[in-house]
Amino acid sequence: MTRLKDKTAVITGGATGIGLAAAKRFVAEGAFVIIFGRRQEALDAALAKLGPNARAVQGSVSDEADLDRLYAAVKAERGALDIVFANAGTGSQLALGRITAEHIDDTFDTNVKGTIFTVQKALPLMGPGGSIILTGSSAGTTGAPAFSAYGASKAAVRNLARIWAEDLKGSGIRVNVLTPGAVATELAKAALGSEGLAVYGAMTALQRMGDPAEVGAVAAFLASSDSSFMTGSEVAVDGGLAQL
CA distance 113 to 119: 10
pLDDT confidence of 8, banded at 50, 70, 90?
very high
Indicate the helix (H) or strand (E) that contains 201: helix 186-202
CA distance 182 to 204: 8
Catalytic residue (one of 150, 169, 189, 200): 150
Domain boundaries, the chain: 8-237
Query: What percent of the chain is predicted at pLDDT more than 70?
Result: 100
Neighbours of 75 (CB within 10 A): 13
Catalytic residue (one of 154, 169, 189, 200): 154
pTM for the full model? Answer: 0.96
Q: Is 150 a catalytic residue?
A: yes
pLDDT confidence of 77, banded at 50, 70, 90?
very high
State whether residue 237 is helix, strand or coil. strand
C-alpha dist (Å) from residue 183 to 46, 87, 138, 208: 19, 14, 11, 9
Q: What is the CATH architecture assignment of 8-237?
A: 3-Layer(aba) Sandwich (3.40)
Q: What is the pLDDT of residue 195?
A: 87
Q: Is 200 a catalytic residue?
A: no
**Model confidence pLDDT, tens digit, residues 213-234:** 999 999 999 999 999 999 999 9
* Of 69, 57, 150, 56, residue with least CA distance to 110: 150
Q: What is the pLDDT of residue 200?
A: 85
Q: What strands, in cross-sheet order, belong to the sheet with 8-12? A: 54-58, 32-37, 8-12, 83-86, 131-135, 174-180, 234-237
